[in-house]
Structure 1
Amino acid sequence: MPSAAPSTVLTYDRPSIVTDYLRSGVGLVASGAPLALTKPMPWLTWVLVVTFILFLLFALRSVLRHVSRYQLDDDGFERLSPRPLRVKWSEIEGMKLRYYATRRNRDQDQNNGWFQLQLRGNKGKIIIDSNLGNFDQVLKSTARAAGVRGLALDKVTRDNLSAMGVATQ
């Protein structure tokens, strides 16, 4: 099965969390201040309220990522918090790797987007993105386990693994 370093606790990197907090804070202030300080026209009020709610949801997502802890070891990958879930390599049932570009030019450069990895086991799925520490090691271990289990990977996942330099079996 996959060979990972001794059990390691992984978290999302600090710069991405701080950036997300800053973005959500700016959005909350930019949409909330006009609501609190003025009486905008009704149609504009709805636009600001919806925008405020979206930035509030983004802020909550940022908090969840900030408190999330994961563990990678030789037996599998585990979300420690929140909502603990373990996917054992011997029981992995699916894997998807997607790339989301932030620019129209879709070259898979980490500065122009991010990868999202979905691992599916018999008890549920874990979704992480490339801002998680040691993402490359998690990706390699997951791909290795998927190969050992003989899982059929979709074309998008195979192409993205190839772009990341991860061999598929």
Structure 2
Amino acid sequence: MTTTHHRYPAEALWADYARAGAGLVATAGPLLLVPVADWIAAVLFVLALLFAVFAWRTFERQRTRIAVDEAGIALGEPPRRQIAWDRVTEVRLRYYSTKRDRSGGWMHLRLEAPGGAVRIDSTIEDFGRIAERASAMVRQRALPVDEVTRANFRALGAPVDDLPADGAPAVDALPTDH
């Protein structure tokens, strides 16, 4: 397998940038333009700080590059965090719905190893390829996964069903008919 490179496209992050900007305008704007009571200023300042941190984290996500190859997965250039596939101790794949009928949402893949974890959400380019590689590693190493992770890999077309479950309850799994 050759190395594949993945990033979060700007188009996938514009909504987060818009939320951060709107939050900053709504909280920092009154601080700068209107005299307010001290306790209100403190609340607005804390909220503005939270929106600024959210904007910074969104910017960092846009700059993040992920490399995947036979040896493992690396986050950043130069790598800030690297995990070799043979060091992964836990894999979780979750689906977060944005609609009641579960038709909209995103997935979040977490690969944990001694010394840290890599977290990737499905807005990254070619998420399916990363998930397929993680699924292959889970099957190859016979890592136990919970029922939610098992159902979500199955929904992506990268099943890990031939493995023993770790006994976790099956909740919040992506429906397999989507």
TM-score range, shorter chain: 0.7 to 0.9
Structure 1 unaligned regions, length at least 5: none
Q: Percent identity?
A: 32
Residue type at the aligned position of 1:154: D
Residue in structure 2 matching 1:13, options 9, 28, 35: 9
| Rounded Cα–Cα distance in structure 1 between residues aligned with 2:61 and 2:119 | 11
- Answer yes or no: is the 8 Å Cα contact 1:69–1:82 preserved in 2: no
Q: Match of 1:143, as an amino acid?
A: S
- Aligned-pair distance for 1:145? 0.1
CA-to-aligned-CA distance 1:5-53 (integer Å, 9 cap, x gap): x212211022122332222112111211111000123443343223212
Q: Check conservation: 1:98, 1:157, Cα contact below 8 A.
A: yes
Asked if 2 retains the 8 angstrom alpha-carbon contact of 1:95 and 1:118, the reply is yes
Residue-pair matches, total: 161
Match of 1:114 in 2: 106
- The yes-or-no answer on 1:73 pairing with 2:65 is no
- Give the gaps of 5 or more residues in structure 2: 163-178
Specify the alignment match of 2:121 in structure 1.
129
Q: Which residues in structure 2 correspond to 1:43-58 (within 5 Å)?
A: 43-58=39-54
Q: Partner of 1:159 in structure 2?
A: 151
User: Bigger CA drift: 142-151 or 14-23?
Assistant: 14-23
What is the SS of the residue equivalent to 2:46? helix
Higher relative contact order (CA 8 A, sep 6+): 1
Kindly state the Cα deviation for residue 164 of structure 1 after the two structures are TM-superposed: 2.2
Tell me the distance in 2 between the aligned counterparts of 1:41 and 1:83. 46
Cα deviation 1:87-140 (Å, max 9, x = unaligned)? 22222211011122223x152x4xx22111101123321011111111111011
Q: Under a length normalisation based on structure 2, what TM-score does the superposition of the two structures give?
A: 0.81
| Cα 1:94/1:11, change in 2 over 3 Å | same
- Residue 87 (str. 1) matches residue 79 (str. 2): no
What root-mean-square deviation, in Å, do the aligned CA atoms of Structure 1 and Structure 2 show?
A: 1.9
Q: 2:142 aligns with which of 147, 150, 154?
A: 150
4+ residue runs of structure 1 moved beyond 4 angstroms? none
**What letter corresponds to residue 147 of structure 1 in structure 2?**
R
Any idea what SS the aligned residue of 2:76 has?
strand
